[in-house]
Structure 1
Amino acid sequence: MKVLVVLTGELCFDGITNSVLNYYRAMDRSGMEIGIVSARGTNEEMRKNFEDIGCTVYPLENRDSCPAKYFVQLIGIIKRGKYDILHAHGNSATLAIETTAAYLAGCKVRIIHSRNSFCEHTKADKLLRPLMYATYTDGFSCGEKAGKWLFGNRPFTVLNNGKEIDRFLFKPEVRKSYREKLGVSADTILLGHVGLFHRQKNHPFLIDVFEEVCRHSGQYKLVLIGEGEDRGKIEEMVRQKGLTDKVIFLGRQSDVENWIQALDIMVFPSLFEGMPNVVLEWQLAGLPALISDVITKECGIMDTVSYLPLENGSAYWADQILHTPLNDRENTKEDIQKRFIEAGFDIKENAKVLKNKYIELLEKSK
């Protein structure tokens, strides 16, 4: 069985790429050949992670700059590799590029996997929906909200963003070590955010919220993990507000599971999301999370997640942060582990489900 996975974003340490990697790492890959297409850029460390588990990586990287060339190259990869299944991840009907290429290349199973509940290219999305619907065979989604966004009333299968549960559970020794790296005192409360510096993640609002927090207390610092096109703007905003000594920009980190151990409260005021991996990871680490109420309630496995309206403003969010108690993370680990397994977020089981689904769809296509 040959599966070609297309990541329509960058192959990097973002939530979608990590979710895909987790699935294939945990999967019994016997009898399988897996190819990974990177459509917008390739981080070499992440590329090696896929190659280490036997995947072939195709760094095309020209989906945006030259879609016609990308389309032709994709047809060639599918034909030469004789791939049985296309599994393309994205959040809009521009996935018609991948499904049409696979159709023309003779690939029988053409899966599109909805990863968000919104897209920014609304005109292209509307234009390409008929073609996407005509050329895909099966729909997957990270959650109900993301599935309804892309498929409407058409059927789709929800595949949970499974996790290596033990990897994220609270570890006091890691917390101590990483707080020392940050150079913060024991009584400093670290707010945290993990995500791409992009309009979707709403960093300007987050900085406004943190400014309000600092007006009421000098006990807090903000840690931002991630990279992106808007990082420079946010750094300048922090400078203008006089918060430089209170905001820590860590950039992209390959061991996010360790850095979040050092944090105390997570804040996530996104404008839109599908099924955010990071919110799941924060809950596994025992962290309280204040997130925008546009985010699906499906990601609230524990009662440590609070959904707040963005329209209530930065002062309201700051007040909620200031009144958020810190969790007893050591003594809640067993309950967290149990709840995540019961909710269906154990990656070992999720990977079995996906492989069985591939086998089922391939048999059905014959």
Structure 2
Amino acid sequence: MVKVLIILGGLGGEGISNSVLTYLETMDKKDIDIYLGVAGPAKKSALKRAQAIGINLSILPGRNSKPILYFKALKEFVRTQHFDIVHVHGNSATLALDMLAAKRGGCNIRIAHSRNTSCTHPIIDKVLRPLFYANYTDGFACGEKAGKWLFKNRPFTVIPNGKNINRFLFNADIRNTMRRELGIDDKIVLGHVGVFNIQKNHAFLIEIFREICTRSNRYVLVLIGEDGGLQSDIKKKVNDYNLNDKVKFIGFKRDIEKYLCAMDIMVFPSIYEGLPNVVLEWQLSGLPSLLSDCITRECKVMDYAEYLPLDKGEKFWTDKILSTSIRKRNGEQNYIKSIFLKAGYDIENNAKLLKQIYFKLVETRLY
């Protein structure tokens, strides 16, 4: 039996949380004992989802709000539970805190999993790099760019953001139902999925949409995602521009695939990303996807995903959106599925791979 502790700095419905929970839902639990440690804010719906998986759920002190208490609690938890592996998800050298605590607790396999290509505290990251490099044993990353960001020239293993491919394939009947539900039957629907925070760059997206509305009345914008602290600012901006009847805020949606069927074009002007799950989901659904050039090229699986420079401004992005054709998505599902399978994004295969890696690390590591 291999005993693994996976740590997240919070548990929500999107992003890293969703990716980890999807892996754990899919993974065969035979001969592996998994604990999920949550060291930050947790949504009730996400906790309920985690509990339904049948793993051990542990709430730790806040990693960011109470780092000293978190360090002591993690060290003691690792010491008493005798984990074979501690696997921590993050995006900077602040992972040194987790790696050192796991080391002091007696764990010999300490995985740092890079989930992004930048961070919000570069000075702290720089200061902690030596401590981080001295205390992690194995590097994982969601993509090549995220791995290079955190590990530089050191070795790391890419663990793809696997998907339940069939779930996200386009369905014409669902499209018609969802468009009626959203009241957008005859409109061209622009979509965005993401937490309302600085990284996702919603403010620029609203500037783009304002420019679009000066040229055409055929478009609506649907924003899907949790509040990361900036939603009220974005709503005020929409109100100030008199766009309330054209912009829909619909919150986080667990059944996101249904809403994607209703969309026509996705717009993603993020300032930085690792390898965002949502962009893969959009392409699976057959949606034209216009992405910031700050996002890794690994996201592009289909030809209808395109990168645009942020510094060109809202008029350039508007020109591109207005010239983007609405795709006929029905009838191409099997082709898209075959491309994604070939690209290595099937969650069944990816979950098997991760479990195999865990076992190989334990089998080959010299104590």
**What TM-score bracket applies, with the shorter chain setting the length?**
over 0.9
Which residue number in structure 2 is paired with residue 197 of structure 1?
196
Of 43-52 and 271-280, the range deviating more from structure 2: 43-52
Output aligned runs, 1:170-319, within 5 Å: 170-185=170-185, 187-227=186-226, 228-319=228-319
* C-alpha distance in 1 between matches for 2:49 and 2:254: 11
Provide the residue aligned with 2:7 in structure 1. Answer: 6
Counterpart secondary structure, 1:330: coil
Q: Does 1:45 align with 2:24?
A: no
Helix, strand or coil at the partner of 2:250: strand
CA distance in 1, matches of 2:271, 2:95: 22
Q: Which residue of 1 aligns with 2:350?
A: 350
Superposition deviation, residue 79 in structure 1: 2.0
Contact 2:61 2:73 in 1 (8 A): no
**Residues 50-65 of structure 1 correspond to what in structure 2 (within 5 A)?**
50-65=50-65
Q: Which residue of 2 aligns with 1:158?
A: 158
Distance 2:174 2:86 in 1: 40
Q: Which residue of 2 aligns with 1:34?
A: 34
Residues 301-352 of structure 1: CA deviation (Å, up to 9, x unaligned): 0001010000111001011000111111112211110000000001111111
Q: In 2, Cα distance between the equivalents of 1:65 and 1:294?
A: 29
SS state of the match for residue 344, structure 2? coil
Calculate the aligned-residue CA RMSD, in Å: 1.0
Partner of 2:338: 338
Deviation per CA, 1:84-143, whole angstroms, max 9, x where unpaired?
Answer: 101100000000111101100111110000000000111111111111111100000000
* Correspondence 1:110 to 2:104: no
Q: CA deviation at 1:144?
A: 0.6
> Cα deviations across residues 232-268 of structure 1 (Å, max 9, x unaligned)?
0000000001101000001122211221111111000
| CA deviation after TM superposition for structure 1 residue 61, in Å | 4.8
Are the equivalent residues in 1 in contact too, given 2:39–2:63 (CA < 8 A)? Answer: yes
TM-score by length of 1: 0.98
Q: Offset of 1:81 from its aligned partner?
A: 2.1
Q: Deviations over 1:27-48 (max 9, x none)?
A: 1111111111112211111112
Q: TM-score by structure 2 length? A: 0.97
**1:115-154 correspondence runs (5 A):** 115-154=115-154
Letter in 1 for 2:160: N
Distance 2:179 2:40 in 1: 34
Amino acid at match of 2:7: V
Amino acid at match of 2:141: S
Q: Which residue is equivalent to 1:362?
A: 362
Contact map agreement 2:61 2:69 (CA 8 A) in 1: no
Alpha-carbon distance in 1 for matches of 2:324, 2:77: 51
Farther off after superposition, 172-181 or 95-104:
172-181
Is the 8 Å Cα contact of residues 34 and 54 (structure 1) preserved in structure 2?
Answer: no
Measured in 1, the distance between the counterparts of 2:34 and 2:261 equals 33
8 Å CA contact 1:3, 1:85 repeated in 2: yes
Q: Provide the residue aligned with 1:91 in structure 2.
A: 91
SS of the equivalent of 1:327 reads coil
Q: What CA distance in whole angstroms lies between the structure 2 residues aligned with 1:233 and 1:48?
A: 30
Matched letter for residue 268 of structure 1: F
1:5 partner SS: strand
* Structure 2 stretches lacking a partner, 5+ long: none
SS of the residue corresponding to residue 332 of structure 2 reads helix
TM-superposed CA distance for 1:296, in Å, is: 0.6
Structure-1 separation of matches of 2:38 and 2:180: 36
Whether contact under 8 Å (1:213, 1:318) holds in the other structure is yes
CA deviation map 1:21-73 (0-9, x unaligned)? 11111111111111111122111111121221211122225111110001111
Match of 1:331, SS state, is coil
User: Matched residue pairs, number?
Assistant: 364
Aligned partners of 1:326, 1:111: CA distance in 2, in Å?
43
Find the residue that maps to 1:58 and give its secondary structure. Answer: strand
Which residue type is aligned with residue 246 of structure 1? K
- For the residue of structure 1 that corresponds to 2:331, the secondary structure is helix
Q: In structure 1, what residue type is equivalent to 2:97?
A: I
